[in-house]
């Protein structure tokens, strides 16, 4: 009989615990859903080891820079990397947070990269804004094969305007939130736009 009551007690405790965790998840999820996301600045664009910040035309490359890029292409690779700052605004009266961020990155309509960053980010309440730097790395030679060198280079240029605002880059994100010691994912990807918009 005692074993029976012990079993019932454990089941009740487990049920209460699961209920509390479920409620906590829903509250955290609701808080995050109310947050607004937008693309901030695009920084540190590097093509085959060449800083292409402020380079908008092929004629802007120096002889040395052209040589580096040409050598990379001859070796069968054309690595492109940049940091895309995603800004999150929290209109709620309590802090929001995420523990992990998965992303899909695009140039125009072509997916160029996917990945995840493991970082705990707190978005302050009352309209506070947090910036999440997402490092994107890809090899555009794999993406735009059988194209001329000029086409490849033009593909990597003009990713941002003079104010470093992304103009051809798009990103989708999936935040993860921590409930207890477990990470739980946001249901689906959020398309991050140029202006603040909620993840609903």
Residue 77 vs residue 19, higher pLDDT: 77
| pLDDT score, position 150 | 79
**pLDDT tens-digit profile of 97-132?**
888 999 999 998 889 999 999 988 999 999 999 999
Q: Structurally, how many domains does the chain consist of?
A: 1
Confidence of residue 180 (pLDDT cuts 50, 70, 90): low
Quick check: 131 and 104 in contact, CB under 8 A?
no
* Reported pTM: 0.80
Collect all residues with Cβ–Cβ distance below 8 Å to 140 and sequence separation of at least 6.
78, 80, 112, 152, 155, 156
Lowest mean pLDDT of 85-89, 95-99, 108-112, 145-149, name the range.
Answer: 145-149
Q: How many residues does the chain have?
A: 200
pLDDT for position 154: 83
**Confidence class for position 197, pLDDT limits 50, 70, 90:** confident
Instruction: For residue 54, name the pLDDT band (cuts at 50, 70, 90).
Output: confident
Q: Look at residues 65, 121, 74 and name the one whose alpha carbon lies nearest to residue 96.
A: 121
Distance of alpha carbon 110 from the chain centroid: 16
Report the sign of the C-alpha dihedral through residues 147, 151, 153, 154, in that order: negative
Contact 32, 177 (CB under 8 A): yes
- How far apart CA 80 and CA 43 sit, in angstroms, is 12
Say what the pLDDT of residue 44 is.
95
Range ranked top by mean pLDDT from 14-28, 43-57, 134-148: 43-57
d(CA 128, CA 137): 29
Confidence at residue 106, expressed as pLDDT on a 0 to 100 scale: 94
Cα–Cα dist 32/178, whole Å: 12
Mean pLDDT, the chain, whole residue set:
82
Task: Return the pLDDT at 30.
Answer: 58
Pair 157, 52: CB distance under 8 Å: yes
Q: Provide the 8-state DSSP code for 151.
A: H
By residue range, what is the domain housing residue 70? 2-198
Residue 83 to residues 99, 107, 139, 165: CA-CA distances in angstroms?
A: 19, 13, 15, 12
First to last CA, the chain: 51
């Amino acid at each position: 009989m005692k074993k029976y009551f012990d079993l019932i007690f454990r089941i009740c405790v487990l049920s209460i615990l699961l209920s509390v965790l479920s409620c906590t998840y829903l509250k955290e999820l609701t808080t995050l859903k109310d947050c607004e996301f937008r693309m901030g600045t695009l920084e540190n664009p590097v093509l085959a080891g060449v800083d292409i910040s402020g380079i908008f035309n092929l004629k802007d490359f120096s002889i040395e820079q052209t040589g580096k890029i040409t050598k990379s292409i001859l070796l069968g690779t054309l690595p492109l990397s940049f940091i895309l700052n995603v800004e999150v605004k929290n209109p709620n009266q309590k802090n929001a947070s995420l523990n992990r961020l998965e992303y899909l990155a695009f140039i125009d309509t072509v997916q160029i990269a996917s990945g995840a960053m493991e970082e705990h980010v707190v978005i302050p309440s009352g309209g506070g804004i947090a910036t999440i730097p997402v490092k994107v790395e890809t090899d555009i030679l794999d993406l735009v094969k059988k194209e001329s060198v000029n086409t490849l280079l033009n593909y990597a240029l003009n990713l941002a305007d003079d104010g470093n605002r992304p103009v051809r880059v798009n990103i989708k994100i999936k935040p993860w939130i921590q409930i207890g010691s477990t990470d739980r994912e946001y249901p689906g990807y959020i398309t991050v736009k140029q202006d603040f918009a909620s993840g609903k």
